[in-house]
Amino acid sequence: MDQKLKSELTRQLILNESFKLFYENGFKTTSVDKIMKATNLTKGAFYHHFENKKALALAVIGLKLQKRVYEAMVAPLYGSGDALEILKTIFSVRLKSFTVYEKQHGCPTNNFINEIGDHEVAYQNALKRIIEEWKSALVYVLDRGKTEGSVRKDICSKSVAVYLISAFEGVRGLRKLYDNDLILDEYVSGLSLYIKQISA
């Protein structure tokens, strides 16, 4: 029972270092060699745990990215509290509380989407799952707001969800170009206007 544990630990180590390097340098330009150098293991270990680099990418997307987005952007939407307040918190407070490192490198999921979202169906589906889960949670909280009377009933929840996600991912990309938070402040101000519009 010790071997299984240590093996799983190694797998997680590879996944963690991969995520980090993919995030900092991109997926396609991060080699297996670089990853294994970061883990202090060798290629033998890598190809024992993963069939190839594509399998690693799918694991990083399905495990690391999906989990991160779920914890940061999805789970809070299922919490209690005023629907619109939750939205404001998720999309603005969270954004400003990112570290410089996170602001500089953007959204890990969005980076993957833009880098390999048009390459393989397997990648598309894995990434799509993350977005759809997020979108569903947004629709849920918007619908709840409707029944509770805080959100206008004549708006399309799905459309608002897509627009919110789009703007968030968009600005996380744009922020890479700057060395200050001005664009984030403007985004937040633009967002608050949008939230006012959907409020009843």
Q: Does residue 113 touch a second copy according to CB under 8 A?
A: yes
Sign of CA dihedral 36, 40, 43, 46: negative
**Residues whose CB falls within 8 Å of the CB of residue 199, separated by 6 or more in sequence, listed in order:** 84, 150, 151, 152
Binding mask 21-40 for DNA (x = CB under 7 A): --------xxxxxx-----x
User: Can you tell me which residue has the tokens 């190694």?
Assistant: 10
Q: Are 108 and 176 in contact (CB under 8 A)?
A: no
* Residue 116 C-beta: closest distance to DNA, Å: 13
Residue range at the interface with DNA (CB under 7 A); choices 49-57, 106-114, 143-151, 154-162: 49-57
Give the alpha-carbon dihedral of 141, 144, 150, 155, to 10 degrees: 80
Residues that bind DNA (CB under 7 A): 1-4, 6-7, 10, 29-34, 40-45, 47-49, 52-54
Residues that bind a second copy (CB under 8 A): 26, 28-29, 104-106, 110-111, 113-115, 117-118, 124, 127-128, 131, 155-156, 158-171, 173-174, 176-178, 183, 186-191, 193-194, 196-198
